[in-house]
Amino acid sequence: MASVVSTEPKTRVTAAPQPKSELGTEVLAPTRREFLYYIWGASMAMLLGGSGAAIVWFALPRFKEGTFGGVFNLTAARVPQPNGAPTSIPEGRFWVSHTANNELVVLYGVCTHLGCLPKWSLSNHRFECPCHGSKFELDGLYIEGPAPRSLDRFETTITFTDGSTAASNGTGDPIPLEGRTVLNVAINTGKRIKRNGKV
């Protein structure tokens, strides 16, 4: 029996050449395991980078000094006379009151009823809310009206010319000056202290 001779040209199968770098060395393609390792590493780096950014964001003060939400520094010139009309600081939304007992207290200038802005009445020597008539003493204590509590206070630290300091307590009671001369009053409008009811 005659054998069939193929006329097809014989082709040689050779391995595909590996890519070469510019220096002529072979560039090895990463294995699947290596590729997954790289992905994992990149994910961890992104996660840690994101966590670090979040920590920095929380650690940095978010409000600038002198803007509402941040700290205000007032010189002694802004401190009113004892039992005098309180000083309004509109940009900080607060009042500085100097009581007849020679104490300082910083009051949040928003009514504790529904958020209107009480005004100081020179003739009646008290704060009066124009919306529903709540009234408050010079030190912010409730007098009458639908407000559920006295005016809120802001955390305050006073520095005196003798170098001593005095700060608000946890309930925001007026700070006694005790005969010392005020150098600076630092008011943190990010730290509001709510009074407990009408006291």
Residues in the chain: 199
Nearest of 187, 158, 156 to residue 67 by alpha carbon:
187
Cβ-based nearer residue to ligand FES, 116 or 183: 116
Would you say 46 or 114 has its CB closer to ligand FES?
114
Give the shortest CB-88-to-ligand FES separation in angstroms.
17
97 or 156, CB closer to ligand FES? 97
- Within 8 A by CB and 6+ apart from 161, the residues are 180, 181, 182, 183
Site residues (vs ligand FES, CB under 6 A) = 111, 113-116, 129, 131-134, 145-147
In the complex, what is the shortest distance from the CB of residue 170 to ligand FES, in angstroms, rounded to a whole number? 25
Closest approach, Cβ 123 to ligand FES, in A, equals: 19
Output 49 or 130, the one with its CB closest to ligand FES: 130
Q: Is 142 helix (H, G, I), strand (E, B) or coil?
A: strand
Query: Is the Cβ–Cβ distance between 163 and 182 less than 8 Å?
Result: no
Minimum CB distance to ligand FES smaller for 115 or for 163: 115
Q: Rounded to the nearest whole angstrom, what is the least distance from the CB of residue 68 to ligand FES in the complex?
A: 19
Which is nearest to 113 in space by CA: 84, 81, 155, 150? 150
The nearest distance, CB 143 to ligand FES, in angstroms, is: 11
Q: Return the DSSP state at 20.
A: B
Beta strands in 145-198 (DSSP E): 153-160, 165-167, 175-176, 182-193
DSSP H or E stretch at residue 88 = strand 87-89
Instruction: Locate 26 and state its tokens.
Output: 């072979």
